[in-house]
Amino acid sequence: MAKTLTYKILEKHLVDGELIPGKPIGIRIDQTLTQDATGTTAFLLFESMGVGRVKTELSVSYVDHNMSQFGPENHNDHLYLQSIARKAGAYHSRPGNGICHQVHLERFSRPGTTLLGSDSHTPTCGGMGMLAIGAGGLDVAVAMGGGAFYLTCPKVIGVRLTGTLRDWVASKDIILKLLSILTTKGNVGCVVEYFGSGVKNLTVPQRATVTNMGAELGVTSSIFPSDKMTRKFLEAQGREKAFQPFEPDPDAKYDRVIEIDLSRLEPLAACPSSPDNIRPVEELHGLEVHQVIVGSCTNSSLNDMMMVAGVLKGRKIHPQVEFAIAPGSRQVLEMLAKNSALANMIVAGARILENSCGPCIGQGCSPADNVVSLRTFNRNFSGRTGTKNDRCYLVSPETAVASAIMGEFTDPRILKDVVGIRYPSVKLPSRFEIDDSMIDEPLPVEEAYDAKVHRGPTIVVPESPTPLSDTLQGKVLLKCDDKITTDHIMPAGAFLKYRSNVPEYSKVVFNCFNEEDKPTFAERAMELKKQDISTIVVAGQSYGQGSSREHAALCPMYLGVRAIIAKSIERIHKANLINFAIVPLEFGNEADYNKINPDDELSIAGLLKAIESAEEIMITDKTASFDFTCSLKLSPRDRKILLAGGLLKYTKKQARG
């Protein structure tokens, strides 16, 4: 039977279940990655499992998120991660070496293998032909310990690419086009697989841009074939031995096929404040711009930066525009410095930011009030920049640099006629600068045993969930709308430094919904917890979209949140809720959402029995005096995890037999 690329990899790695779409399966994980914003918790949980050394072929700990060091918290995390990674048998990429997804693509990715990362943009390495999946840190910790990763066997959406991108139209425009078709919701349980004659015209960095933003579709992963372009990239990285051709069968069947002719694409932009709010750049022409940033794990490759440098050579940034670049890795930065491209950008007026996540997660470069900021990033959720009610647009590097020169939203295709700028020709180098001196290798087993782990006082071991009771008495402390992201639940930016200290970080749960001079969500939840009353959150469609941050489940759990009732819940967040023994419930009748109000008291009787075997459960709204039904969309393993009191307790129980 003809197979898709996705199913070829799944079949090779299947350890539990059957490859039937919609059914739960367990797969073997070859590689893992963590980053410092999620990695500290992941490694603390890994330690509590008592496994000792990682069991994967390769695990890497990166530092790329919490780089600004105001106070000791971030550096404490960095030293802990460096010491525990080497002791546990993982590689460690030190601060300054680059963004995890860019570095992993360059130095570790391998076609035909599986990668699990505690970051939602882990599918970046799908550009290398890997089945790369984002997950919560606890799932990654289990994989590091040799456990399988469990997911819903996916449907596969095929995207047939034909033609060739024209000058000034970028790979970013491919994924923005797809977001305009599929949107950010309704794609849970799917993988996007790219095929067709147009694939061979895209470099690995271009492909990685497309797979990176597949996270915004809400899919499990995105993947390209491994072909001559893949071989070329690996050879340039000095890793030709990692290459293997890997393609779908010619007559592979997809659950849905979307056609995109690359030669007919135009520059696109994601408008505030959602990655699927897509408009042609041509329609936005003339809108005044005050900030432009090129970087993030989406568009920070050498190709992107060289194109920007080529456009800027001999020119100046518009005086009203603050322009910054953030190369994705030290390799990229070093090569830009050696070939004078960096000098061209500095002379043009560019600010040079650290090769880290930085502004993409609200750490620096927040725009002024009520001004337009163009970014080559992957998310523009409201307030993510660090400025409330921001006006953030997601664009390609081509649109970004054109607009930076002109001082207004500019379709880059007009540059030749208006200011005489031709599209710069950029080709992959035959050999990249290779220096892995900032990647620490694991300690040998005999040295690791006595190695000390640096544990700063700001690192606090997370609490385990308390067991669920058969009758859950709770109060609705928050009722929210559709598309609530993990940024809404747990703010990033300046608060990220508290992520190794759950009691401290929990103080800002749902911070964006707090009202001035009134008790915060955290304060009200803790008060209920003291009274042995559970907190319940009610939400609309696509609750928990965005980042994989498990703190969006871990911190609410600490505050006493025991159930989420929503119209729908996104994949990674739902898994994180289950991992920390918070019950994910979905309305049987969405009209019931409108009947529930904040502060309503709810009662859920027979919860444990329902978790054990039922597909739905009755809930009583004692305040409004009505009953409503919710579905329990749980796999048999999900049910066991909830009944055990979370994934960590379940894993320990399994290990004991």
Catalytic residues: 64-65, 119, 379, 547, 549
Quickly tell me which residue has 């390609």 as its tokens: 396
Instruction: Report residue 199 as tokens.
Output: 């694939």
- C-alpha span between 39 and 2 (Å, rounded): 39
Token couple for 544: 């928990």
Q: Is residue 137 a contact partner of residue 41, using CB atoms and an 8 Å limit?
A: yes
Is the alpha carbon torsion for 510, 188, 117, 234 positive or negative?
A: negative
Token reading at 13: 């790695």
- DSSP assignment, residue 53? S
* Strand-pair partners of 150: 26
Q: Which residues pair with 133 in a beta bridge?
A: 116
Q: How is residue 248 written in tokens?
A: 């779908």
Sign (positive/negative) of CA torsion 46, 298, 568, 554?
Answer: positive
Q: State in Å, rounded, how far the first CA of the chain is from the last one.
A: 38
Helix (H) or strand (E) holding 526: helix 521-530
- Between CA 102 and CA 233 the distance in angstroms is 13
CB proximity list for 451: less than 8 A, separation 6 or greater: 83, 86, 87, 443
**Rounded to whole angstroms, what are the CA distances from 565 to 378, 517, 628?**
28, 28, 11
Please name which of 481, 492, 478, 479 lies closest in space to residue 547, comparing C-alpha atoms: 492
* HEC-encoded secondary structure of 112-157: CCEEEECCCCHHHHHHHCCEEEECCHHHHHHHHCCCCEEEECCEEE
